[in-house]
Each structure stands twice: as C-alpha cells, then as structure tokens.
Amino acid sequence: MSRYILALDQGTTSSRAMIVDEAGNIVRMAQKEFRQIFPQGGWVEHDAREIWSTQMGMAQEAITAAGLRAADIAAIGITNQRETTVIWDRATGQPIHNAIVWQDRRTAALCDELIRAGHELLFEQKTGLRLDAYFSGTKIRWLLDHVPGARDRALRGELAFGTIDSWLVWNLTGGALHITDASNASRTLLFNIHTGAWDDELLELLSIPPQLLPQVRGNSEVYGETAVGLFGARILIAGMAGDQQAATFGQACLDSGMAKNTCGTGCFMLMNTGKEAMTSRHKLLTTIAWQHGGQRTYALEGSVFVAGALVQWLRDGVGIIRSSGEIEALAASVPDSGGVHLVPAFVGLGAPHWDAYARGTLIGLTRGSTKAHIARAALEAIAFQSAELLEAMTSDADGGLTELRVDGGASHNNLLMQFQADILGVPVVRPKITETTALGAAYLAGLAVGYWRSVEDLRRQWQVDRVFEPAMSADRRAARMMRWKKAVSRSLDWEEEG
C-alpha cells in the first residue's frame, strides 16, 4: 500500500496541500495566497481559475518537496471554503463569471424579498439554514440573472454549478465527475438535510434549473481517479468535506455533544449532535457534519464571518501591523483594550444576529487610545463573537460544554486563546496538530481506501498540545460580555437595504 495521503485544503485566502502520514503527522505542506476581488462594497469574488492553478501547483509542490511520486499517494482528500459559488461551461470548463465568495452580501435584498414573501420557515425546516446571502442558492440565482445568456444555457444543460469541492474534482478528473458531498450540499439552501436530496420546491422558489446541480455523494468513498497526465500517475479521490465539517472530523469530535471552534478567515463553531438534526432556538444553523457508512451525522453551527480576516485588515487595510504575527506582541503591550471595542461587521454579522446590514464599528476611543489598544480589541472581538456562539449553542443543547477544542491559524495566538477561555468560562484545548481541516479531509479519504481501519484509530491519534484554563471571575466575564453586546448594538442595521 502507498504510504501517504494528499490533502487539498482550498481556503478563502489561500490554497494549501499537505502530505499526511499514517500517524496523522503532516510531512510536508505547501501554501499560496491568491487574489481577493472586491468589485464594490459588500461584494467579494475570486477567480476560480486562479483557485485551480494555485491548488494544483501546491499539490505538485508538496509531493515533490516531500521527495515522493504520485505512486506514493494512497488517496486524495479535499476540503474547501464552503458556500463560494462557481458556474462553468461543461464543454470548455471555463467559469462564466468570477466565483462569488461566501462572504459576499450582494443577494441580501433577494433574501429579504423571499422572507417578506413568507418563505423563511420553509427554507429553515428543509435545509437547517437561515435565508441569508451567506449561502450558495441566492448566489446561483444572481449569476443566472446577471450573466448574459446564463439562464438559457443552464436550461439547455450547458452549464454546471459547484461549490469549490465540485470545481476541484471537475478539474482533477478532466471533467469526468460533477459531484459534491453531503456536507457541502447542505450549505446551498437547495438541499433537504432530512431526505438527503436536492429539493424541487426550493429550486423552483429560487428559479434554479436542476440540471445545473452536481450529484451528491458521501464524505468518505472512492469517487474516481485523477486525469491521466496530471500527476504522473492516477490517484484515487476518496474524501471530501466542507472545511468546518472536515475540521470537526479532524478534531475527533466524533461523539454527540463534542464541539470545536476553528478560527481562520472566519470563526466557526460546530457541535456534533449525532443522528439528530437539532433545531436551534437561537439562530444557529443545523447542518450535515458528514455522511459515512450510509448514516448522516448532524451538527449545530455558529458562524462568525470575520475573525482572522480582521487581523489581515489591520495589516493590509490600515497598516497597524506589518505582518499578522506581530499582533500578539502589540496587543500584549497593554494590559487591556482601554475600553476600545472593534466590531468586525465588514460583511454583516452572522450568528446569532444575522444582520446583513450591520457594518464594522470601532467604538470607545479616547485621546489615550493607541494602536496597541486597537490590536487588543481586535483579538478580543474574535473571542467575544465566539462566546456569543457558545452561549447560544449550550442553550440549544440544554447543557454546557466541558471543553472547547480549537484549531486554525489564530489558535496559535496564546493571548487570544487565554482570553477565549476567560470569556467562555470553559477550558480551551489546542491539539498538537492544529491543521485539522486538512487532517479531517485526509482521514475521510484514508478511511475510504483502508489506509486507516476505523474511526477509533483516528480518535486515538488526537493529542493535546495545551489547555488554557479560564482565570476570569464570573462577574467580570458577565460585565465584559454586556459591554461587548452594547458595542455590537451600535453596528446593527447600519447599511441601507437594497
């Protein structure tokens, strides 16, 4: 048997490839950032061709840098930024427009229109999602309505829709496979998470032809092989999952009640709810975590749209720091934020607010405020937003957590992780391997080809790096959260509708 798994981790700001060994260790990683395109306020796009070229380039670089050949790779696992939407020509493989990114808010007015027409509950009951511009369905509708000739071509079966997983598999197989997996399908507003099928009623409401859609597969199965000539040998493609579901699997949150929080571009908290598609009373999402062995596992999810992207903004947008790594030392140079709060509602707010018209707010400034206070407020904002998610999640689940597992780039920031534990009031546990998104994709692929025998093998591999214990008093925690919520209230409903 070949000795390694190749995980493709296609994220919002970069494409990464990782070589994973049997012990779950990352042998080699290659990463490349790609362009973020902002055509106008609230709009975010990517060039899907650049996504493919960077992802393929990183895969080849990782294999070569590890001193391997394609024949040494047992299987490929794919994980991806989820709701980002691509439509391409089936004959040429060329996108008809830039990909519309999950952060994009251009369809907020369409969502409002559907809500006013009384369709909100129907979408929530069938998909577990909010009627929000975050998800793929209204992005597809926008592309069909605004790209000349797109709707007619879609009706003739000439076009294909996919989230980034579908786009990568299409290219990896030379157009042989147009598929997605259950976790990504569950993020489209078009997929019934209870029946496990595309929903004709929802497709009709959004005027989306079913012939656009990919076939939905499980998260851990052999889908096919890479095209001849792509890697020098054909490699099995055997696992796919949206990034947050993959991270949940990689964190070994395999039992009902376990939860993880991934802090990357955004912050995403998922709690495994087992076979139960639990309905949230606090505006969280019900989503498919994974489908494996013929069974669906569900999760509750809370989404923070801007987390690590806030640090990127401090670096690129306002120049407070020169590199992302500088923020921890700058924030630690002051004992607290000096009353400054930064609400990063740059593209609206996700759970539990779901306000597409909220905008970023920097409040509490005095003449004594410095860039260090702003940096500290930025890190605290990531933790405060996550605390709101956990508050909603534990209320929905009628019970508290004993710990929260963390991963993603921001989990390496010790100041942030300590404040996260303080403001949550529960231990925050960082694993030795924090690249759990790619690891989850690797695990799903490896299980499908027998590289790992069972999920019990994976559970045993998970190891703790550090536990951050809460050190803030309950009264202080409550006062800080109250102040944060006051700052959030100032950011709500700022942008005009339409």
Interval 40-51 mean pLDDT:
94
Amino acid 2: pLDDT: 64
The confidence band for 368, taking pLDDT boundaries of 50, 70 and 90, is very high
Structure confidence by residue, pLDDT tens digits, 445-461: 999 999 998 888 888 88
Interval 36-57 mean pLDDT:
94
* Closest by CA position to 271, among listed 163, 382, 391, 421: 391
Query: For residue 252, is it left (φ>0), alpha (ψ between -120 and 50) or beta?
Result: left
How many other C-beta atoms lie within 10 A of the C-beta of residue 450? Answer: 11
Indicate the angle between helix axes 371-396 and 308-316, nearest 10 degrees: 160
Mean pLDDT of the chain: 93
Amino acid 410: pLDDT: 86
CA pair distance 438, 229, nearest whole angstrom: 25
Retrieve residue 77's tokens. Answer: 């696992």
β-partners of residue 29 are: 18
3-state secondary structure of 485: helix
* 352 vs 8: which has the higher pLDDT: 8
Interval 380-387 mean pLDDT:
94
pTM of the model: 0.87
What are the DSSP E strand ranges found in 134-187? 159-162, 179-181
Lowest mean pLDDT among 23-32, 90-99, 145-154: 23-32
For the cut 80, the answer to whether the pLDDT of residue 498 exceeds it is no
Do residues 256 and 267 touch, judged by C-beta distance below 8 A?
Answer: no
Concatenate the DSSP letters of all residues of 444-498 into one string: HHHHHTTSS--HHHHHHH--EEEEE---S-HHHHHHHHHHHHHHHHHHTT-SPP-
Do residues 372 and 466 touch, judged by C-beta distance below 8 A?
Answer: no
Q: What percent of the chain has pLDDT over 90?
A: 75
Sorted by where each starts, the structural domains of the chain and their CATH numbers stand as 4-244 (3.30.420.40)
Interval 259-282 mean pLDDT:
88
Do residues 181 and 216 touch, judged by C-beta distance below 8 A?
Answer: yes
Which value, to the nearest 10 degrees, does the dihedral of the CA atoms of residues 213, 219, 221, 227 take?
A: 50
* Closest by CA position to 488, among listed 375, 350, 396, 366: 350
Structure confidence by residue, pLDDT tens digits, 120-168: 999 999 999 989 898 999 999 999 999 999 999 999 999 999 999 999 9
For the cut 80, the answer to whether the pLDDT of residue 329 exceeds it is yes
